[in-house]
Structure 1
Amino acid sequence: MRIRVPTVILSLVVASAVYAAPVTPNPSHLEKRGWAADQLEKLFTKAISTLECGACVAALVGAKDIAYLNKNWVLSAVTGLCKQFKIMPEDVCTGLVYSQGPVLINAVMQANLLSGDGKIICHQILGACPAQGVTSGALSFPKPKPVNIQPPTHSGNLIDVLHLSDWHVDNEYVVGAEGDCNRPLCCRKYADSPLNPKRPASTWGDYKCDSPIKLGVDLLKFVPKVANISFSILTGDVPPHDIWLQTKESVVIVEEIAYNTMQEGLATKVYPTVGNHETGPV
């Protein structure tokens, strides 16, 4: 899709006229210094500081228009605001926006923001708009429902199956590290971790942390004591919640460690599937 620069400027000026101080656009400044990104930052600041529904939708409209020119401008503006409002530590702001943001921007670019999609997004992200009602619609299936289906005859033999889900074992869990930190995932040694934690991480985990390796290993050791399992199923979500640090390579390493741990701890086959934490964005 080809987007004319004056058209994008016009849409931002209209939004800015309502939610920000008037600014005279200069196309050359847009190309050289990111004038549009400055305007976008004003729109997002208004949305975050007021939590007004209209301001939030206007910010999304501005983000969508700017994304057609340069998606990095949108990512840069959101990262700056995350740091400015101290929503999260700076490293988390940067990692979270640049790892999760590109796919979310693509979703916003496909959304019809002025017909209701914008209010849905603003409600979910900021709570800035009222919850939107569920719309009705017809759901079609690729083929008709089978008729006169007879269930197979039960053999009478019962087996035990181990169902594992949301493994989320943190290989970087450190006993004694801060359990109530300023990041989405604690019980790790970060660069700014306190020398004397106010809530030291215990051997078995903490509320704001993922599970330590010992907890996962001991769980697998305990299973044979209570059940004679025939096989196991793992329904996804293996990596820890450090999504601002994750890459494809890091997730693969975590998956391999987890599967090896299960293979060593269980005497049966494990049939896995993926969850949302195996993909990006989460």
Structure 2
Amino acid sequence: MRLSLILLGLLGVSAKTVTFKDATGNDVEYVQKPTFNQKKVDAYVRQTEQIVNSTHMDKCGKCLTAIALGKQAALNGDVELIPAVLTQLCKIYKFSKTCDTDYGAETSAFDTDGTHAAQTLTLIDDPYGTDGQYLCYYKVNQACPLPETPKFDLKALGWWGDKPDNVSVPKSENQTFNVAHLSDLHIDLRYEMGAEANCTEGGKMCCTPDQFNKGAQAAGREEALLPAQKFGMYTCDVPAPMIDLTLQTVGQFAKEKQFEFAIFTGDMVSHDVASQTNLANTALSEEAIYHAFKKYMGDVPVFMTYGNHDTFPYGQLAQHKSGYGGYFVWNDQLSAQLWRDYGWIDAEAEQQAIHTYGSFATTTKRGLRVISLDSNLWYKKNFYNFWNTSTDPDPSGLFRFLSDELLECEKKGQRAWLMAHIPPGGNMDNSLVHSTEIIRQIVNRFSTTIAGLFFGHVHEDQFNVWYAGNGSTNTVDNALQIAFLGPSVTPLTYYNPAWRYYEVDTKTFEVMNSHTYYAKLNETFAFDFAHPVQKTIGNFSYLGYPEIANLSAEDANGTAPVYHYEYNAREAYDPDHEWPANAPLNATFWHKAVDYIVNRNETRDLFLKYEYRQSPYVPKCADDNCLANVYCFLSSGTVPQVVECQKNHKGFKKQIYIKRDGTYGDEPEYHHH
């Protein structure tokens, strides 16, 4: 059977196989796309337009009624028509410039939402209840208010009993070992040196062959305004040479610092748009990253987790009991086998990963339990997270897997690290409210067992302080856990590449210090990025950069970067040197760090500089709105806590974002982590 048929079968697409003879007499198969009933599609579109144009409902009522219509269409057996309906509505209401590839039916060649939105409609319990309200809030531009977070008592549901009185943190022996943390590599297999890095097609990846600058093109310029360099650009994902150089550097440090293992908190695949993202590209990108880690890290175990880009289609993952899980098993089978082949996990963890969405638990040689979780199961862009939201705390079984692992650790007196890609708190653009509330209960219950939380996704060098209870009392005595958010290797958007390693206590497994290294990407360019020159072509004005004289042939497309030591957290965030030398960088330390960042200009400037790794685009943050934003993001472990923090800080405003031209604005031009 041809690969196209295998993939279509995997994706659950109804198709008819047609065979005919070619010019040489050989049989040739092709897949005939399903024939849709266009009259029915048009009828559903007209009904939706009537709902939208109604004068008897507010926008929330219209949204919920439209979802109810979609639910009825699915129940009527018309689920395969829904992508076509969504595509037509997209064109009518201009949801997107690429409606066909964004909302069309799923194939192995394109990353689309249509099929998965349709399948979610077959699953939702009550379109007028929290399922529909969450969909309207998160997916339809906040058409409905954010509903009250469902209340689940996990203890009453039998997930665990009372916390034993004898659970305690082991006594430190004041010895440490080292662990590397990398995140968000985002290899771009389509990256092309010399391609346009100053492209103007919003959402599409610059530095790829099909990108251009509209203004320059209209003015008659054929060459790139800002040619992509060998090791990367601030508006692009990561070319293969930068992946190799980064992991080669980490591999050298692994020998010098004797890393006992490494964690990678997700996102191997590029941010490219739907029309350029396919199943093959996703699998090839993941394989390339796994191979590079093994090549340069040697025998150092690397514990992996998926990011929201490390799935096909983007951000989607169906729970096993949904009936649609078969779409996604290829990823777990591919990855788990490679992880075991490379010696990173054992047979038991391999089977866990295959059957638990790529999630697994493994024990290091020192006895630390590392639990890796697929955060797509709490990601807001995953349609499959929007069904039975008020009746089932755990449709995937992932959270029960986590609590069971921690319960077993508690019984054994074993400590654990939790790692995933998307942090449950911080920026509200990432995680779902109801899912992160479940995570909060788990972290609260097993706070003594958990020695560390590790995430990525945001690309910035950040952290989140978790507080006991519902997180509403942010006092030093209530500080409970710390989540480390690893900086990205990708420079998208406007960051310098970075990675770090931790000094970890050999008994408590708490982080004693973190050391971050960064590469000055602008110093790799074959032009003088620090001295732009205003240029014009007719009426078109742009910034140009003078070439650097006397470059060798090897450096003509970019000079190899060097990873420099940037900072260690103990020195940066304890400016008064009050923290005891033998105390871990626990939640109390980071609670005090938040206080320094918000209230001391010099510490805040340091934080912002480190957040962007000293790139040329470090943002400003001086007004009360921005300070409130920083405070809420750093001091909220879950989304409900962010929401509550925002309510308590009237006039809350998103941080100042940097535009492509270097000016500041209220909205990002790139915000697709």
Q: Which TM bucket (shorter chain)?
A: 0.7 to 0.9
- Greater shift, 31-40 or 269-278, is seen at 31-40
Report Cα offsets for 1:228-274 as digits up to 9, x if no partner.
12321112221222362545444222211111112223243312223
Matches within 5 A, 1:1-282: 33-44=37-48, 52-68=59-75, 69-83=77-91, 85=94, 87-89=96-98, 92-93=101-102, 99-111=112-124, 112-141=126-155, 142-144=159-161, 145-179=163-197, 180-182=199-201, 184-186=203-205, 187-190=207-210, 195-223=222-250, 224=252, 228=257, 229-242=259-272, 244=274, 245-267=276-298, 268-281=300-313, 282=315
The DSSP-based 3-state class of the residue aligned with 2:119 is helix
The DSSP-based 3-state class of the residue aligned with 1:113 is coil
Report Cα offsets for 1:76-96 as digits up to 9, x if no partner.
122234345271336643668
Distance 1:49 1:218 in 2: 56
Name the structure 2 match of 1:15. none
Distance 2:104 2:223 in 1: 27
Distance 2:88 2:242 in 1: 38
- Greater shift, 268-277 or 156-165, is seen at 268-277
Listed as ranges, the gaps of 5+ residues in structure 1 are: 1-30
- Greater shift, 232-241 or 187-196, is seen at 187-196
Instruction: Report if the CA contact (8 A) 1:78-1:97 is conserved.
Output: no
Number of residue-to-residue matches in the alignment: 252
TM-aligned CA deviation for residue 74 of structure 1? 0.7
- Greater shift, 178-187 or 70-79, is seen at 178-187
TM-aligned CA deviation for residue 206 of structure 1? 4.0
Q: CA separation of 1:182/1:243 partners in 2, compared to 1, >3 Å: closer, same or farther?
A: closer
TM-aligned CA deviation for residue 148 of structure 1? 0.7
Structure number with the higher helix fraction is: 1
Report Cα offsets for 1:134-153 as digits up to 9, x if no partner.
23513214222343123334
Query: Percentage identity across aligned positions?
Result: 24
One-letter amino acid of the counterpart of residue 210, structure 2: Y
Q: CA separation of 1:252/1:115 partners in 2, compared to 1, >3 Å: closer, same or farther?
A: same
Q: CA separation of 1:113/1:90 partners in 2, compared to 1, >3 Å: closer, same or farther?
A: closer
Structure number with the higher strand fraction is: 2
TM-aligned CA deviation for residue 189 of structure 1? 1.7
Q: Which has the higher contact order (CA 8 A, sep 6+)?
A: 1
Instruction: Report if the CA contact (8 A) 1:166-1:236 is conserved.
Output: yes
Distance 1:164 1:45 in 2: 47
Q: CA separation of 1:106/1:236 partners in 2, compared to 1, >3 Å: closer, same or farther?
A: same
Listed as ranges, the gaps of 5+ residues in structure 2 are: 1-34, 316-673
Report the aligned-residue RMSD: 3.5
Q: CA separation of 1:178/1:128 partners in 2, compared to 1, >3 Å: closer, same or farther?
A: same
